[in-house]
Structure 1
Amino acid sequence: MSLPDPIAQGVADGWRVLDGATRQQDLQLHCDVLIIGTGAGGGMTAEVLAQAGLDVLMVEEGALRTSRDFRLLEAKAYPELYQEAASRKTADKGINILQGRTVGGSTTVNWTSAFRTPADTLNWWGERYGLHGLNPQAMVPWFDMAEARLGIADWQTDPNPNNSVLEQGCQALGLKHGRIRRNVRGCWNLGYCGMGCATNAKQSMLVTTIPAALQHKAALLARARVERLLPTADGKALQGAEGVLLAADGHSLTGRRFRVSAGHVVLAAGSIGTPAILLRSGLADSHVGQRTFLHPVAICGAVMPQRIEAYNGAPQTVYSDHFMHTQPLDGPLGYKLEVPPVHPLLVGVTLSGFGQQTASLMQQLPHLHVMLALLRDGFHPDSQGGVVRLRADGSPELDYPLNDVLWDGVRRSWLTMAELQFAAGARQVQVIHEQAPLLPSWKETREMIAGLALKPLLARLVSAHVMGGAAMSSQPDGGVVDEYGRHWTLRNLSIIDGSIFPTSIGANPQLSIYAFALRAAHQLRAALKA
């Protein structure tokens, strides 16, 4: 069955969409507002400003791909829709990072889990960083607005078996747990959210705010990599930005360049991309790229007696914050428990071991259950996150040291996840560590976890949540931007993405970025229209 593709129809009807791969000459463009990046921050900002009548240009490094391109195939989706083909890693290769690289950014490929910023995180930002205007009560209207715009609501369908294992384990052990809200409308419950939504049910920026902005005469330039921002002669503002156009493969250079002059620039390239652009532009102070946080994720697998088929059904609908909010924020790292979808390619490159052992486990894929523990970093004194730096070719790299505080959280979370899976009826459990075998009992697994060496590449860690790197602050000497994302030095630069967060969120960050972006975009709209 062929489904309508409203974005393709809009392009056919004359939306201002340019593809860098098809340009035969250099581009010179002009706009009121240049928005660099089309993810949660850039997408929300583009709609607000375009609806106000401002001439908005969105620039995106990735390609414009729509529902007709989403074929539910891992081998196609990861190279086309993710940074570094879903293989981006920290400098020591210790953490694999999943980030979107397409129009809509990570909102196009995330698993739709929507949480408001925890109140204790917002209160901490007020107490420690002086960001009192971001208290829980003040943020409620912005969360309400974001949820209404993007269809964020309770998921009415029963959890799939993968999520049910987490729920059953929590019930058996008496652990606090709940259901996850999702940003979907008319979801088909397929389970392939990470490969782009083929039915346009996921309310990502790709199908909501970006089309709305284009309908209001905004423009989009895709397959265009911003190399640097262009400061004015006095160094107090920006003239615009310049960069290179990318070929159809999304990586090769065409030899063509682009330059944009703009009255205002919004950086929304994400918590690795935004600091990288500032660094390449020679506009970085001592805060840029520092304290970049990941929610490092520890993983535990289990073979269940029943079929789990974790590749089917809504990916994430159950969670537990039992170990997130039951201890001081600045104490041992807390962690949030969730489950991921389990598709063959992604699980195959994540599983520990090799040879017959891994092949045997892959043969049991329909019975495989996987649990995640998202570690909340940035609050403990020894949890400083990582640093974004530039490689010799100007591309960004995140150096993320794995220290004793983080490893302690990993070990504790493994113990929790293994116990939960056995409590839910698992036949065998294996924490994802190169020296950890499948074991048939909680007692054996507990003893094995206690003795595991904790080093990069032995313990397999992943993350899909990148935050910080251009943090907001209450004073110019404390960060890069103020609480509205306004740059402390460059008068016509705003940063509106997850890079402004001074710590990790402690929850899946998409809704936090949506709400903060709306707040910043409305302030910017008022300033530009004054």
Structure 2
Amino acid sequence: MSSPREEAMEKAKKAAARGHPALRGPVRRERYTHGLGAAQMGALRAMCGALIPALPAEHDGARGGGDMDAERFYLATAAESTVPDEVAELTMTRCVWEAGVLVRIILWILATRVGTLALCGRRCISGEFPYVGRFADMPVERREEVLRRWSSTRWLFPLKITFALIKVLCHFVFYTAVDENSENPSWKAIGYSVPAAEEEPRKEPTEATPAPATAPPCRPLDNGVVETKQLDDNALLMSLAEKGLALKTGASSSAHHHTVLCDVVVVGSGCGGGVAAAVLASAGYKVVVVEKGDYFATKDYSSLEGPTMERIYENGGVFSTANVTTTIFAGATVGGGSAGLALKTGASSSAHHHTVLCDVVVVGSGCGGGVAAAVLASAGYKVVVVEKGDYFATKDYSSLEGPTMERIYENGGVFSTANVTTTIFAGATVGGGSAVNWSACIRTPENVLQEWSSDHGLQLFGGPGYMQAMDAVCARLGVTGRCREEGFQNKVVRRGCEALGLRVEAVPRNSGTSAAAATSAAPPATKRGTDTTWLVDAVERGAVILTGCKAEQFHPREERGGGAAGARSASACGDVQSNGITKKLRIEAKVSISACGALMTPPLLHKSGLKNRHIGRNLHLHPVSMAWGYFPDNTPEPHIQGKCYEGGIITSMHRVTDRTIIETPALGPGAFAALVPWESGRDMKERMRRYARTAHAFALVRDRGAGFVDGEGRLRYAPSHGDTEELRAGLRRALRILVAAGAAEVGTHRSDGLRLRCKGVRDEDVEAFLDEVTVEKGPMHSTTDKWSVLCSAHQMGSCRMGASPSTGAVDGAGESWEAEGLYVCDGSLLPTAVGVNPMITIQSIAYCVAKGIADAVAHGKEH
């Protein structure tokens, strides 16, 4: 019989797996759009089956130890079910187009005998006719040999890239796919269960505060959110009006009318209308005269009575009273006119746009956009936040890795640099990075502030205003000093550091003092991202958040210094992602703010016509390289209890140097399998069997090397030589910490599976192993048979602040050098990498920028 605690935990785990329907899976596709033919899919299916093969049962029964879940796990293969189709779909729809073309070509070649011979060599040859087989016809053991060869080939790097891509996607899909019950058949065998949901603290009712009457649940932002994906044109316009937004055109008018703006409209152009128009136009008013008749100049008239009467007299000159007592002659032509009208909406615009009026439009709702929206709404301005992602409240999240990554991460979590050096993780939901990050709240280091103030000439970082901003941000996020009890991975790091006499710091967090489970997929209930703090403040003060709306470009006012501009001459144009909405949305505002992050702000500014050379340059990623240590359940005392996916994610930190830190990640089964090296199908399954007790620690470097944002979804980045050496030193330190903590085996993510068994190991053996540790380049490089892929969860600097247009994309107030009233307010503003988790830094800069905007508007600068 289960104990009350066990029953409560089981209930919490079921709650964690429920969540919003969009986040609990399984992914249901009406059809696949990858476009691969049957022969190509056969080759891909064979490749997936070699990466995750069905392993025959062992006669001695040692493999699973009589565990039926383990036996089923070993017999499972990725060649079955929908895994290959899902891999194909992700490859063709989420990866850069060059990768899709490469995989398509490789699979086409493998679908032929000659092509298989060219790419696989003698391994496809058999002693039976037709002697050369296609890749799909080869025994699984030979297919594994081919993939191992591809993984380590030096010069045929297209094969290495193909291997790396399919390996990552295949394992991610296999270990994150869930059925209708939100279960994966492999999870029990690898020691994984969906982490229990953390419940928000509940206050017991008292006489003074009785329990509230039952009411439908309300999400914190519901009063301000317009979820456009669920609406059609009429519903959108009604929702916008209900939120208090002024509309210029709507489905009831703009679809059938052209709208003209003027000061005076005069209906009729005769003796009265003509005089009135002249007098008012002379007084400086814009006058529109509406005349149903035609305009004929003097030279147009003829003396032909019939045709002239027909065109210039009322009713063609055939007009009398109803009682036929009097014949009427009245003019029906233009007696005067005015020209030079400014059409506000016409066939070229209003037929395609809904127009909304506000004071400030903010594109993006993350660390920068959320803070800016709150500050400006609190200052009394009407704010509209445009967010391409969806809104999920805390209770909506599930802890299911696959479905959640698909909906709340940029590009569904499948995002890397174009040169395949670094895997990128970035939020794409209401709350942005603050909704998906790992809760670390570290203030901007003093040495970084000094550098930005002195070396970059930015006064903002040298004065008390920025320190006050950090205080305000930490107070609003409810930052706490440390948690009461750490999770498994952080305990490992702390024990290892203490054993080596190294200093380990507690990391401030914005998710309470408990160490409740927080996966890479779902935040804990007590976490305070912008979606539960700043955006709530903004909505309470009248801000409106449009979800499912992707900004395409700004239409900025004239260049800075070009003279006064109209109150609403700046606007943003966005595409609403709904089949029911037929028009784009145009938002006219006094101030436009790009806050869509360091990856998306540069493309948006380029599409808006901005040319500053720093836009899209100076991209810093805080590259991360990971080490792992395996701690069997039967390790001798003192035993570190727990599992790798339990507990707070980052609660401890060790500083290796002033540019390198060591922290712990959150890796669900899918991310774990995607990142660890593949040496064979059997070895990979053995690694996965140890998943729950494998602790990871990563080295993060404040990178000097910088990359480029070439366009939406296209990045180029490679760490500098100095960054690589810093990473190597950090990785070596992380491995020492894991060994000192009592790991039975340690290793890295290098493609050759570098590892060390620690039982009985001598100090000199450890040193020899550490000497072999390297941080390799990505699979595109042909200089070595080894490769690795770095990770990044922090993106900064791609539209950095500068003291002049020659040093930065925007000025020290965040305003574009090229367009007045257009600001940047996100992580792209950072002058350099910050060297620690950047959430507090980004929000503090956004706070200062937004305060400056409010002051500027209040003093008439934007009018």
Relative to the length of structure 1, the TM-score reads 0.90
Q: Which of 690, 693, 702 is 1:364 aligned to?
A: 690
Amino acid at match of 1:404: H
Looking at structure 2, the residues matched to 470 and 7 of structure 1 have their Cα atoms a distance apart, in angstroms, of 40
In structure 2, the CA distance between the partners of 1:106 and 1:275, relative to structure 1 (3 Å rule), is: same
Task: Tell me what 2:408 maps to.
Answer: 81
Q: Which of 514, 527, 533 is 1:202 aligned to?
A: 527
Describe how 1:401-420 pairs up with structure 2 within 5 A: 401-420=718-737
1:404, distance to aligned residue in structure 2 (A): 2.4
1:476, distance to aligned residue in structure 2 (A): 3.0
Describe how 1:44-193 pairs up with structure 2 within 5 A: 44-135=371-462, 138-185=465-512, 189-193=515-519
Describe how 1:203-282 pairs up with structure 2 within 5 A: 203-232=528-557, 239-247=570-578, 256-282=583-609
Task: Tell me what 1:22 maps to.
Answer: 231
Amino acid at match of 1:301: W
In structure 2, the CA distance between the partners of 1:193 and 1:154, relative to structure 1 (3 Å rule), is: farther
SS in 2 for 1:195: coil
Larger radius of gyration: 2
Asked if structure 1 preserves the Cα contact closer than 8 Å seen for 2:551 and 2:573, the reply is yes
Asked if structure 1 preserves the Cα contact closer than 8 Å seen for 2:519 and 2:667, the reply is no
1:506 matches 2:715: no
Looking at structure 2, the residues matched to 232 and 44 of structure 1 have their Cα atoms a distance apart, in angstroms, of 24
Task: Tell me what 1:330 maps to.
Answer: none
SS in 2 for 1:369: strand
Looking at structure 2, the residues matched to 366 and 16 of structure 1 have their Cα atoms a distance apart, in angstroms, of 39
1:460 matches 2:789: yes
Amino acid at match of 2:547: A
Between Structure 1 and Structure 2, how many residues are aligned?
505
1:17, distance to aligned residue in structure 2 (A): 2.3
SS in 1 for 2:673: helix
Asked if structure 2 preserves the Cα contact closer than 8 Å seen for 1:291 and 1:468, the reply is yes
Query: Per residue, is there more strand in 1 or in 2?
Result: 1
* Structure 2 runs not aligned, ≥5 long: 1-11, 16-198, 201-214, 234-250, 252-352, 634-640, 780-786
Looking at structure 1, the residues matched to 775 and 668 of structure 2 have their Cα atoms a distance apart, in angstroms, of 28
Task: Tell me what 1:492 maps to.
Answer: 821
SS in 1 for 2:509: strand
Looking at structure 1, the residues matched to 216 and 507 of structure 2 have their Cα atoms a distance apart, in angstroms, of 28
1:177, distance to aligned residue in structure 2 (A): 1.8
SS in 2 for 1:229: strand
Higher relative contact order (CA 8 A, sep 6+): 1
Percent of paired sites with the same residue: 27
Asked if structure 1 preserves the Cα contact closer than 8 Å seen for 2:825 and 2:846, the reply is yes
Deviates more, 1:445-454 or 1:364-373: 445-454
Asked if structure 1 preserves the Cα contact closer than 8 Å seen for 2:650 and 2:663, the reply is yes
1:76, distance to aligned residue in structure 2 (A): 1.5
Asked if structure 2 preserves the Cα contact closer than 8 Å seen for 1:108 and 1:197, the reply is yes
Asked if structure 1 preserves the Cα contact closer than 8 Å seen for 2:356 and 2:588, the reply is yes
Listed one character per residue, the Cα deviations across residues 354-394 of structure 1 (whole Å, up to 9, x for unaligned) are: 5222211111112100001111112xxxx2x101012xxxx
1:527 matches 2:856: yes
In structure 2, the CA distance between the partners of 1:438 and 1:62, relative to structure 1 (3 Å rule), is: same
Asked if structure 2 preserves the Cα contact closer than 8 Å seen for 1:71 and 1:198, the reply is no
SS in 2 for 1:259: strand
In structure 2, the CA distance between the partners of 1:529 and 1:268, relative to structure 1 (3 Å rule), is: same
Describe how 1:294-443 pairs up with structure 2 within 5 A: 294-306=621-633, 307-321=641-655, 323-325=656-658, 334-354=659-679, 355-378=681-704, 383=705, 385-390=706-711, 395-441=712-758, 443=764
1:509, distance to aligned residue in structure 2 (A): 0.2
Deviates more, 1:231-240 or 1:450-459: 231-240
1:268, distance to aligned residue in structure 2 (A): 0.5
In structure 2, the CA distance between the partners of 1:448 and 1:456, relative to structure 1 (3 Å rule), is: farther
Looking at structure 1, the residues matched to 474 and 727 of structure 2 have their Cα atoms a distance apart, in angstroms, of 32
Amino acid at match of 2:574: G
SS in 1 for 2:570: strand
Looking at structure 2, the residues matched to 49 and 91 of structure 1 have their Cα atoms a distance apart, in angstroms, of 37
In structure 2, the CA distance between the partners of 1:10 and 1:511, relative to structure 1 (3 Å rule), is: closer
1:266, distance to aligned residue in structure 2 (A): 1.0
In structure 2, the CA distance between the partners of 1:376 and 1:258, relative to structure 1 (3 Å rule), is: same
Amino acid at match of 1:170: C
Listed one character per residue, the Cα deviations across residues 479-506 of structure 1 (whole Å, up to 9, x for unaligned) are: 1122221222322011111101111001
1:446, distance to aligned residue in structure 2 (A): 4.4
SS in 1 for 2:791: strand
Asked if structure 2 preserves the Cα contact closer than 8 Å seen for 1:97 and 1:463, the reply is yes
Listed one character per residue, the Cα deviations across residues 253-305 of structure 1 (whole Å, up to 9, x for unaligned) are: 96542111111011111001111101222213111111110000010011013
SS in 1 for 2:728: helix
Relative to the length of structure 2, the TM-score reads 0.56
Amino acid at match of 2:577: L
Looking at structure 2, the residues matched to 193 and 262 of structure 1 have their Cα atoms a distance apart, in angstroms, of 39
1:16, distance to aligned residue in structure 2 (A): 5.1
Asked if structure 2 preserves the Cα contact closer than 8 Å seen for 1:465 and 1:508, the reply is yes
In structure 2, the CA distance between the partners of 1:519 and 1:358, relative to structure 1 (3 Å rule), is: same
Listed one character per residue, the Cα deviations across residues 103-139 of structure 1 (whole Å, up to 9, x for unaligned) are: 0001111110010011111111122211243027553
SS in 1 for 2:374: helix
Asked if structure 1 preserves the Cα contact closer than 8 Å seen for 2:228 and 2:578, the reply is no
Amino acid at match of 1:507: V
SS in 2 for 1:129: coil
Amino acid at match of 1:438: R
1:434, distance to aligned residue in structure 2 (A): 0.6
* Structure 1 runs not aligned, ≥5 long: 326-333
SS in 2 for 1:183: coil
1:529, distance to aligned residue in structure 2 (A): 2.0
In structure 2, the CA distance between the partners of 1:453 and 1:472, relative to structure 1 (3 Å rule), is: closer
Deviates more, 1:476-485 or 1:502-511: 476-485
Listed one character per residue, the Cα deviations across residues 384-434 of structure 1 (whole Å, up to 9, x for unaligned) are: x101012xxxx2311002442232223222211111110111110011111
Q: Which of 614, 627, 638 is 1:287 aligned to?
A: 614
Deviates more, 1:302-311 or 1:121-130: 302-311
Amino acid at match of 1:311: Y
SS in 2 for 1:124: helix
SS in 1 for 2:696: strand
Deviates more, 1:77-86 or 1:224-233: 224-233
Asked if structure 2 preserves the Cα contact closer than 8 Å seen for 1:191 and 1:312, the reply is yes
SS in 2 for 1:240: strand
SS in 1 for 2:678: coil
Looking at structure 1, the residues matched to 698 and 682 of structure 2 have their Cα atoms a distance apart, in angstroms, of 25
1:161, distance to aligned residue in structure 2 (A): 2.1
In structure 2, the CA distance between the partners of 1:51 and 1:353, relative to structure 1 (3 Å rule), is: same
Amino acid at match of 1:324: T
Task: Tell me what 2:256 maps to.
Answer: none
